[in-house]
Structure 1
Amino acid sequence: MLLAEHLIAAVDDLRLADRPVMLHTSLRSFGTTLDGGADTLLDALLKRRCTVMAPAFTEPQFGLPAPVDMRPARNGLDHAAPPSETALSEGAAYSVDCGLINPHLGVLPAVLIGRVGAVRGRHPLNSFAAVGPQAAELVGAQSPDDVYGPVRELADRDGAILLVGVGLNRMTALHLAEQRSGRRLFRRWARDEDGEVRMVEVGSCSEGFPQLEPVLRPLARTAVVGASRWRAYPVRRVLSAATAAIAADQDITRCPDAGCLLCRDAIAGGPVAP
């Protein structure tokens, strides 16, 4: 069984104390029981005065079909496809205290949003949530019209990205690098906190991000906890290196699925105004 002290030692080895950290985690990667589960991992970072941020997405739960008069071309969508079975009623409006989260994100984000003092963003589909001393400042940078504001704020505050037993396909910050490389973000639709249907920006497919490994590997510090490999990256340098790599070769993020509409349209530059 792994204990809190094993995790705290890794946090120290990776020099994360006193820094804001974007966390992407697979608890299964430890290969054994982690005493206390996700709470123990959060506490290990908080005890070192980190602020912990994670994606807390509610897509597809709050997603809506594209209105017929708001369907930009090259938007990574097949409008003839049936709606997601996990979508809620079209009358449902997102709120920061909805308590919902996309289950594919794993256990830790669901635990984080239930923490006392946790702060959650106002984006109806791709919110971020954070807990710790800088949580309000990080998450406050997000709005329905600025999905990756928290990632920019993380970089400005000398933050880190911590991958715990997961790969680059889970590194959400790379969507900001896509945008900075010249791509337009995809458009989706949801009801905001006022109940109004609005168009918002979201990211693209991330399954091709592991192809950036040769570019980002030199930036990582590593540790091993149980069977879990931890990699910590400085956000500012990741964004700079990834942006340059994508701008030089837009095809570098193409995923293995030859029929992926998201990759096809993102690589072509993203949506075109209707």
Structure 2
Amino acid sequence: MTITTRRLAEAVDALLPADGPVMVHSSLRSFGQPVEGGADTVLDVLLAGGRTVLVPSFSGSHCAVWVSEGDGPRPRRNGMVYADPSGGPAGVPYTTDCGLIDADMGALPAALIARRDAHRGDHPINSFAAAGPLAAELIAAQRPDDVYGPLRALAERGGDVLLLGVGLNRMTALHLAEQLAGRRLFVRWARAADGAVVAVEAGGCSEGFPGLAPHLAPHARTASVGASRWTVHPLREALATAAAAIAADPELTRCAEPGCLRCEHAIAGGPL
């Protein structure tokens, strides 16, 4: 058995407006069977009808660096233990056309950044990439010191988030909800296009985000394709709902790992 293009199109058309922008987090393995044409077919179906598709295209495993005391301020309560950089990653320079992407991003983001019409954000470890009519506009909102600019632009455009076979722990926009709730984003370091080490904004632990499910469920739309469960969250409503829930009960986002430093520091408010 194979997941056909027609079945994919039926599900996408039922869940998403024909000409709207959508942020997609995906796992092709979630289908439980082969997909006709693979990631490129899924991407083509999502883009059909004039949609714009936004994906995470993170590259921290390639471009991140450790910093020493001489490299500038190292904030306290920053979700990390500072270490001797001699054994850490040296990082390679990031450019928007470098083609570098973390292996755990999955097949769909890798397929998107390989397209000629793709636009990729200016953030060396947590970039977003997009294709479609609004791609340039969404991606232009990202900078190293404004990691979630494209997500704010997506919300302003009335866009959605599609979780294609993955859970809320993959929904990057919930880090923006944390920021809207008053938490400061973590500071990380990476190598920019000119080789210089730069400080950048970054999110923290997302493994506790499923705790927000009861709050987000009333606005969600769902479907199943093969074994893959799809959930669509209208981004504007999801951000407002999640931010309010986090502000009312900060422990909602704590993950199950005892002593998770990123959770502890985020819940306390973030870097000092």
Shift of 1:83: 7.7
Q: What residue in structure 2 maps to residue 157 of structure 1?
A: 157
1:15 Cα offset (Å): 3.2
Checking the alignment, whether the CA contact within 8 Å between 2:68 and 2:84 is kept in structure 1 is no
1:45 matched residue in structure 2: 46
Q: Give me the CA root mean square deviation.
A: 1.4
Aligned to 1:97: 97
CA drift of 1:194 comes to 2.7
- Please list the CA deviations of residues 148-173 of structure 1 after superposition, one character each: whole Å capped at 9, or x if unmatched: 00000000111000001100000000
Asked whether the equivalents of residues 251 and 267 of structure 2 are also in contact (C-alpha less than 8 Å), the reply is yes
Q: How far 1:255 sits from its partner (Å)?
A: 0.3
CA contact (8 A) 1:6 1:225 kept: yes
Q: 1:50 to 1:43 in 2, by over 3 A?
A: same
Aligned residue among 62, 80, 94 for 1:77: 80
With the length of structure 1 as denominator, give the TM-score of the two structures: 0.95
Deviation string, structure 1 residues 107-131 (Cα, Å, up to 9, x no partner):
1111110012000001111000000
- 1:54 partner SS: strand
1:5-154 residue pairs with structure 2 within 5 A?
5-68=6-69, 69-80=72-83, 87=89, 89-90=90-91, 92-154=92-154
C-alpha deviation, 1:84, in angstroms: 8.1
Q: Judging changes above 3 Å, is the alpha-carbon distance between structure 1 residues 252 and 268 closer, same or farther for their aligned structure 2 residues?
A: same
Calculate percent identity across the aligned residue pairs.
58
> SS of the counterpart of 1:193?
coil
Judge which range, 248-257 or 13-22, deviates more: 13-22
Work out whether 1:189 is the aligned partner of 2:189. Answer: yes
From the superposition, tell whether residues 184 and 6 of structure 1 become closer, same or farther in structure 2 (CA, over 3 Å): same
Equivalent position SS for 2:243: helix
**Which structure 1 residue ranges, 5 or more long, are not aligned?**
none
**Alpha-carbon distance in 2 for matches of 1:100, 1:209:** 27
Secondary structure of 2:210's match? helix
**Residue 77 of structure 1 contacts residue 261 of structure 1 at CA under 8 Å; is this kept in 2?**
yes
Q: Go from structure 1 to structure 2 and tell me whether the alpha carbon gap of 1:198 and 1:82 turns closer, same or farther (over 3 Å shift).
A: closer
What does the per-residue CA deviation read over 1:56-107, in whole Å, with 9 as the maximum and x for residues that have no partner? 001132111123142110001111377887x4x44x2110111111111111
What does residue 235 of structure 1 align with? 235
Give the distance between the partners of 1:270 and 1:67, measured in 2 at CA.
Answer: 20
Conservation of the 8 A alpha-carbon contact between 1:17 and 1:45: no
**Residues 68 and 85, structure 2, Cα contact 8 Å, conserved in 1:** no
**Whose helix proportion is higher, 1 or 2?**
2
| C-alpha separation in 2, matches of 1:61 and 1:266 | 25
Partner in structure 2 of residue 220 of structure 1: 220
> Aligned to 1:201, what secondary structure does the other structure show?
strand
SS in 2 for 1:60: helix
In structure 2, what is the Cα distance between the partners aligned to 1:214 and 1:185?
24
The 8 Å contact of residues 16 and 160 in structure 1, kept in 2 or not, is answered as no
Give the gaps of 5 or more residues in structure 2. none
Say if 2:66 and 2:85, in contact at 8 Å, map to a contact too.
no
TM-score when normalising by structure 2: 0.95
Give the count of matched residue pairs.
Answer: 269
- Measure how far apart 1:258 and its partner are: 1.2
Q: Distance in 1 between matches of 2:196 and 2:152?
A: 27
Q: Tell me how far apart the structure 2 counterparts of residues 81 and 40 of structure 1 sit (CA, whole Å).
A: 45
SS at match of 1:48: helix
Q: Which amino acid aligns with 1:194?
A: D
Displacement after TM superposition at 1:195 (Å): 2.4
Alpha-carbon separation, structure 1, partners of 2:259 and 2:7: 43
Match of 2:245 in 1: 245
- Whole-angstrom distance in 2 between the partners of 1:179 and 1:255: 18
Q: Indicate if the aligned counterparts of 1:60 and 1:84 stay in contact, CA closer than 8 A.
A: no
